[in-house]
């Protein structure tokens, strides 16, 4: 792996180890909320948390942050576990914040007993109105002076279902004049008569993120709790709860979220794209989710390499999606076997090649990897080539096929175009050529050099396939910062479906997940939609970064 200097989190961990903090033990956690599928931003967080632990002989817990019953679902739990495993990481314990509900409740009781929390009957609107502004202090709630006994009784009644949603909340008795808005009597519990995916109907009060997260870290003895920058102003509260409860001192550290251009990485927005049918599902290959990247043909190693290259930043920025593409292109160039597929076919007949004869040509699978060996490609007098590889009136520098012009057929012969047929609409229907028998690849005795080489398939043996080509899902660099709704910036041409492409017969047995380079066309992966009757391929990425800004 590449040499690089330590990032700021590695520096912190190394200092802690040197000082003997926690006996040098490192335990991180990845804390997804099971309310959607993981995306590339989560991959960054996963690589960071698991990577940091691995580097320092530590471990990482997988903790589902499932404190919001309404949005959570076991479908998401299952997909999250599958995605982390696929990325190549193993967690220590699989844990759920909901398993700590009783302990968290007891923590809240302790804070009430210490006079540090109170039950507030104010409505959400009233609480917001009393909050103040960053430059003006807030106002104390009229319920702030309740006695400890009254607070204990009311909080228990909240738990016992005596009150309706929104009738009461439990708040920190903080400082309504604090310059940090998060310290102005933040909410600890709210009433929600809702079914929870794990605890069922046992609870009707649920802890807020700020009251659940740090204490869950502490319960698990997490040493380094890494989160994204928006939690910087929450850190004083994180530390305050731990200090007042006198529990294990986990510490929070923040890094910049990963943002990719031409996409959105917010579960809420991605969910909207799925629910409104703008994409075909969470794993639609145009999505930035891990499951979509997998279906698109990305490998775990390419995503890990990308996350490593992006590094750990302390300031928000937008990473170019072309960097992600660079890593998969790089890997597939080394590992993917080359094959021939014609995406926009036009028929080509070799008038001097014996009708009915089938020649078996040997084709190198991967010039980057001699151990990949060779395969057989059938050749005959009737072929398909790409429509764009022929021009009736070619400009001077068109080195492909044109009347009177010569080109080499990959792995085969030099051919010369003699004539062509057109239909009533002016479309080319058949191209007629002669081949040079002495020009066979590997034993060329023709003495000719031609500038162009094109790919082809033999018509009688070719297999029909559906090919899906993808473009950016959004038309603009940063759909989040544009005026109006982010969906106004969807690229209407992000998916092009080719129903009848012709592929060489060696691909007939391809299985979903198999990856290939289609010569001159890019890297492709067989899609799970493939059936025994028809294979389906997704283009993972083009051969070169040709996408124009």
Annotation: binding site for L-glutamine: 65, 209
| Residues found in the chain | 549
410 touches 424 (CB < 8 A): no
Selected from 196, 197, 234, 257, the binder of ligand ATP by CB under 6 A is 257
Among residues 63, 184, 197, 267, which is the contact residue for ligand ATP, using CB under 6 A?
267
Given 111, 119, 227, 417, the residue binding ligand ATP (CB under 6 A): 227
How is the beta sheet containing 522-526 ordered, strand by strand?
A: 337-339, 515-518, 522-526, 535-541, 463-470, 495-503, 341-342
Give buried/exposed letters for 235-269 (b at 16+ CB in 10 A, else e): bebbebbbeebebeebbbbbbbbbbbbbbbbebeb
- 267 catalytic residue (yes or no): yes
**What whole-number distance in Å separates Cα of residue 354 and Cα of residue 498?**
32
- Tokens 């007939």 belong to 508
Which x/- pattern over 47-66 shows residues binding ligand ATP (rule: CB under 6 A)? ------------------x-
- Residue 257 annotated in active site: yes
214 binds ligand ATP (CB under 6 A): no
Report the distance separating Cα 76 and Cα 99, nearest Å. Answer: 18
Quote the CA–CA distance of 12 and 89 in Å, as a whole number.
23
Looking at the Cβ atoms of 10 and 33, the one nearer to ligand ATP is 33
- Burial (CB count within 10 angstroms: exposed 0-12, middle 13-18, buried 19+), residue 298: buried
Q: Which residue among 171, 173, 235, 257 is the active-site one?
A: 257
By beta-carbon proximity to ligand ATP, the closer residue of 141 and 252 is: 252
42 touches ligand ATP by CB under 6 A: yes
33 annotated active-site: yes
The binding site comprises 33-35, 39-45, 65, 209, 228, 257-258
44 interacts with ligand ATP by CB under 6 A: yes
Please give the residues from 351 up to 380 whose contact with ligand ATP meets the rule CB under 6 A: none
Minimum Å gap between C-beta 269 and ligand ATP is: 8
Work out the angle at residue 341's Cα, subtended by the Cα atoms of residues 337 and 347, and round it to the nearest 5 degrees: 150
Q: Where are the beta strands (DSSP E) in 45-133?
A: 59-64, 94-96, 117-120
Using the minimum distance from each CB to ligand ATP, give the nearer residue, 80 or 350: 80
Active-site pick, 190, 267, 440, 515: 267
What is the per-residue burial (b if ≥16 Cβ within 10 Å, else e) of 72-88? Answer: beeebbebbbebbeebe
CA nearest to 303, candidates 293, 292, 318:
293
- Interface residue with ligand ATP among 151, 265, 405, 458 (CB under 6 A) is 265
Residue among 111, 188, 191, 258 that touches ligand ATP (CB under 6 A) = 258
Least distance between ligand ATP and beta carbon 328 (Å)? 19
Residues making contact with ligand ATP (CB under 6 A): 31-33, 41-42, 44-45, 65, 227-228, 257-258, 265-268
**Residues identified as active-site:** 33, 257, 267
């Amino acid at each position: 792996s590449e040499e690089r200097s330590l990032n700021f989190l590695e520096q912190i961990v190394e200092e802690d180890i040197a000082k003997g903090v926690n006996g040098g033990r490192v335990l991180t956690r990845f804390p997804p909320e099971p309310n959607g599928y993981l995306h590339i931003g989560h991959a960054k967080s996963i690589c960071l948390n698991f990577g940091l632990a691995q580097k320092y002989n530590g471990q990482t817990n997988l903790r589902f942050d499932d404190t919001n019953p309404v949005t959570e679902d076991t479908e998401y739990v299952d997909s999250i576990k599958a995605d982390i495993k696929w990325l190549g990481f193993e967690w220590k314990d699989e844990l759920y914040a909901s398993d700590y509900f009783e302990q968290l409740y007891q923590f809240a009781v302790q804070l009430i007993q210490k006079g540090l929390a109170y039950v507030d009957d104010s409505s959400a609107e009233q609480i917001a109105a009393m909050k103040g502004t960053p430059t003006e202090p807030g106002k104390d709630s009229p319920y702030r002076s309740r006695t400890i006994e009254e607070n204990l009784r009311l909080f228990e009644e909240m738990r016992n279902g005596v009150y309706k949603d929104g009738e009461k909340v439990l708040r920190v008795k903080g400082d309504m004049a604090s310059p940090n808005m998060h310290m102005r009597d933040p909410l600890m519990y709210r009433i929600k008569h809702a079914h929870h995916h794990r605890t069922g109907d046992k609870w009707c009060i649920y802890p807020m993120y700020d009251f659940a997260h740090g204490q869950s870290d502490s319960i698990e003895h997490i040493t380094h709790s890494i989160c994204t920058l928006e939690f910087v102003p929450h850190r004083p509260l994180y530390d305050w709860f731990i200090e007042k409860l006198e529990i294990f001192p986990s510490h929070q550290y923040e890094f910049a979220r990963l943002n990719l251009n031409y996409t959105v990485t917010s579960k809420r927005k991605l969910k909207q794209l799925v629910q409104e049918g703008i994409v075909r599902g969470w794993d639609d290959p145009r999505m930035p989710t891990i499951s979509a990247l997998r279906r698109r043909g990305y490998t775990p190693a390419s995503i890990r390499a990308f996350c490593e290259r992006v590094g750990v930043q302390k300031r928000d920025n937008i990473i170019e999606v072309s960097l992600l593409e660079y890593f998969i292109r790089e890997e597939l160039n080394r590992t993917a076997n080359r094959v021939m597929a014609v995406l926009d076919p036009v028929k080509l007949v070799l008038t001097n090649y014996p009708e009915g004869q089938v020649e078996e040509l040997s084709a190198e699978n991967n010039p980057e990897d001699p151990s990949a060996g060779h395969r057989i490609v059938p050749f005959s007098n009737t072929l398909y080539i790409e429509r764009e590889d022929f021009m009736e009136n070619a400009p001077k520098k068109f080195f492909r096929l044109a009347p009177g012009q010569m080109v080499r057929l990959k792995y085969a012969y030099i051919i010369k175009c003699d004539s062509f047929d057109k239909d009533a609409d002016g479309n080319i229907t058949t191209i007629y050529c002669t081949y040079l028998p002495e020009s066979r690849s590997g034993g060329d005795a023709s003495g000719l050099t031609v500038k162009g080489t094109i790919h082809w398939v033999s018509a009688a043996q070719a297999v029909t396939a559906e090919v899906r080509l993808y473009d950016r899902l959004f038309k603009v660099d940063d759909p989040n910062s544009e005026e109006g709704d982010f969906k106004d910036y969807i690229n209407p041409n992000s998916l092009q479906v080719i129903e009848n492409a012709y592929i060489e017969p060696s691909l007939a047995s391809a299985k979903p997940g198999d990856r290939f380079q289609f010569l001159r066309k890019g890297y492709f992966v067989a899609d799970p939609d493939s059936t025994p009757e028809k294979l389906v391929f997704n283009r993972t990425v083009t051969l070169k970064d040709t996408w124009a800004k």
